[in-house]
Amino acid sequence: MELYPAIDLRHGRCVRLYQGDFEKETVYGTDPIAVAERFVAAGARWLHVVDLDAARGDGNNADTVLTIARAVRARVQAGGGVRDDTLLRADVDRVVLGSLAVTNRAYARQLIAENPRRVAIGLDHRDGELQIRGWEEKGDVQLLEAVRWPEFAHAAAFIVTDIGLDGTLAGPDLDDLASVVEATEVDVIASGGVSSLSDVEALTSLEAGGRRLAGVIVGKALYEGNFTVEEAIAVCAACA
């Protein structure tokens, strides 16, 4: 299982939201490039970068996203407000489609076909119902329904975020994640709630339908110092 340290960008700063609430923001740094370089120096092979301003339709941090992608010796997975193929034509290794994938499945399928292994689908949900447009609108689609849409069959990964757990350090929802893993052949990356190395170990050990998770995104637990990138990578390797 791959570790994806998270860098959420808002107004050019590294932040974390509590349960996707833009009014409950904690700032963890004003130099996202330095944060990215620190994660990579600690051994991260991937970074997960989210443009929260773009996701909300309130400006963007595109220049910062691209600067990170060009500055680090790691692969960058970026999402948040993606509406076209701009990032795919730039230096980003993998682009995450969120609202676009739910509202325009045909275009999502086109991007997936034109960019093999470079397009992931972000499935952000509350209690199993997808949320879109910066988590502020209901997608009127159930998580397990979207996982089975044929347009997404060749995506590089599903990134499943339980918004109710995101930024809470309350632990991941293993049952929902197991249901997704069992329902698809696409790689599944877990996001939301990770608090401890025990959580990382539980995610690494999770198995359903003979398959396991492909990755885990960790944000607040790293910023709060609950554990280090090095420690999390060691757990992933030990449980593999």
Q: Mind listing the pLDDT tens digit for each residue in 185-215?
A: 999 999 999 999 999 999 999 999 999 999 9
Q: Could you state, in order of their start, the residue ranges of all structural domains in the chain?
A: 2-239
Please name every residue paired with 13 in a beta bridge, in sequence order, or none if there are none.
10
Options 8, 51, 187, 199, the catalytic residue:
8
Options 51, 53, 124, 173, the catalytic residue:
124
Spell out the SS3 assignment of 126-178.
Answer: ECCEEEECCCCEEEEEEHHHHHCCHHHCCCCEEEEEECCCCCCCCCCCHHHHH
Q: How far apart are CA 237 and CA 239, in angstroms?
A: 6
Instruction: Give catalytic status of residue 124 as yes or no.
Output: yes
| pLDDT the model gives residue 29 | 92
| pLDDT the model gives residue 132 | 78
Tens digit of pLDDT for each residue in 24-80? 999 999 999 999 999 999 999 999 999 999 988 889 999 999 999 999 999 999 999
Angle at Cα 112 formed by Cα 110 and Cα 114, nearest 5°?
70
Q: Does pLDDT of 137 surpass 80? A: no
Q: Residue 162 in contact with residue 190, Cβ under 8 Å?
A: no
Q: Residue 120 in contact with residue 132, Cβ under 8 Å?
A: no
Fold (topology level) of 2-239: TIM Barrel (3.20.20)
The DSSP element (H or E) to which 66 belongs, if any, is helix 62-71
